[in-house]
Structure 1
Amino acid sequence: MNKSEVELKRYIPIVEAIAQTFGKHCEVILHDLTHPQSSVIYVANGHVTGREVGQPFNHLITQVLLSNKFQNDLVANYKTETIDNKVIKSSTALIRNSIGEVIGALCINFDLTHLEIAKDFFGSFSQLEQDSVKEEVELYGNVLDIVDDLIGKIVDKDRVDDMDRSHKLQLVKFMDEKGVFLIKGAIDKVADLLKVSKVTIYSYLDEIRKNNSD
């Protein structure tokens, strides 16, 4: 066992602490970079990517040293993929000896595959389809009778002569919120019942929607 390896073995408890904290989907690898062709000296949860002691490093140059995110001897949260198509979130930190020479690296590989499957499942499960609504819908027969009756009940035509502008505006606001004016002919119906012109109803709606946007 060379001097660098002896020094790096001190990091094994840290490797195990990370692996045991984050569970079986978290692989942690300790590299001795003084022996690049067989840099892996310790692996926890090696089943994640299949890494074994005695193997060389893989992504140290391409995704760590050459990364734009490489800073303070660290690149965190870069994406890798295994040969069996696992999606891995990886982080790599370099290890220096007492005189500042890089002698090793600690790599964390977290398997996101199960999370991706869960995300897809919950995304599909929670997806809601929203129907598009036309500006005006034409209704016929009993449905139109029901809507006409509903408008009449909202307006309460027996009291129209006693209503001031504010009261009429509130009624129009309520009907607008409930979608009454999406129905073809509703503006004419409401104008007749409130004893105002269609232009007045349009002005009420403009005022209401402007206030809502403000």
Structure 2
Amino acid sequence: MNEYLKSYFPVADIISNTFGNCCEVVVHDLTSPESSVVYVANGNITNRRIGQSFDHLVRQVLLNKKFKNDSVSNYYFEGPNGSHIKSSSALIREPDGNVVGMICINIATNLFEDLKSFIDTFLSTEKDSIFLQEEEVQPDIMSVIDSIIAKTIGAYDPQGLSRKKSVEIVKFLDEKGIFLVKGAIDKVASLLGVSKVTIYSYLDEAKGKR
């Protein structure tokens, strides 16, 4: 784990304690994408556990039109048993500017759904697409995504990878939304030392189409 992230653990605790049982705070280490969760304060909201990977980083955070100044606030996703989760996330940078992690605040909103007058404001969302088009992805966001790809594949020797493990790596990256970004398949193919056609075949196999 990146030691710099430990300074955010008390921050996670104080936020969770302030908002109570409806609030969960998760700290991710993005230098270890496959086991990015390194700290959880009140993990009962999404059942997050240390050692798990991120779920919403690419789709809901980095590709969100509201993502500015390394953060995005008030996006929604569905939690366990259909619960409604309101979330805000921010990237964590070391003093030299390198992105090493992310802190996420998750609030279960089901408790507020009987408060109709409050909910009209609290749960308001935009109906148009919140996702960036490929040409709108900022260079800095691309560097984060490139780092996730490199860190995911970099732990292995491409020449020594079995097809099964290669399929697992491609499936992981696909599930995390990496291939929503233009050029990601080319980068993965290059790092694995295979062609784009092979990556597509891995994707088909991962999805049970072969």
TM-score norm. by structure 1 comes to: 0.53
The separation in 2 between residues aligned to 1:16 and 1:118, in whole angstroms, is: 27
Q: Which residue is 2:21 aligned to?
A: 24
Q: Which residue is 2:10 aligned to?
A: 13
The separation in 2 between residues aligned to 1:54 and 1:75, in whole angstroms, is: 24
Q: Which residue is 1:58 aligned to?
A: 55
Could you tell me how far 1:8 is from its partner in structure 2?
A: 0.2
Residues 67-99 of structure 1, C-alpha deviations (whole Å, 9 max, x = no match):
000000000000111131110100000000111
The separation in 2 between residues aligned to 1:112 and 1:85, in whole angstroms, is: 11
Aligned-residue CA RMSD in angstroms?
Answer: 1.7
The separation in 1 between residues aligned to 2:114 and 2:85, in whole angstroms, is: 13
The separation in 2 between residues aligned to 1:61 and 1:90, in whole angstroms, is: 14
The separation in 1 between residues aligned to 2:107 and 2:71, in whole angstroms, is: 16
Amino acid at match of 1:68: K
5 Å matches for 1:34-53? 34-53=31-50
1:117 equivalent to 2:88? Answer no
- Report which of the two structures shows the higher radius of gyration computed on alpha carbons: 1
5 Å matches for 1:1-214? 2=1, 4=2, 6-119=3-116
Residues 104-144 of structure 1, C-alpha deviations (whole Å, 9 max, x = no match):
00000000011013439x99xxxxxxxxxxxxxxxxxxxxx
Identity of aligned residues (%): 50
Amino acid at match of 2:112: L
Structure 1 unaligned segments of length 5 or more: list them: 124-214
Q: Which residue is 1:170 aligned to?
A: none
The separation in 2 between residues aligned to 1:89 and 1:117, in whole angstroms, is: 16
The separation in 2 between residues aligned to 1:49 and 1:108, in whole angstroms, is: 11
The separation in 2 between residues aligned to 1:83 and 1:48, in whole angstroms, is: 8
Q: Which stretch shows the higher mean deviation, 97-106 or 111-120?
A: 111-120
Structure 2 unaligned segments of length 5 or more: list them: 121-210
Higher-RCO chain (CA-CA 8 Å, sequence separation at least 6): 2
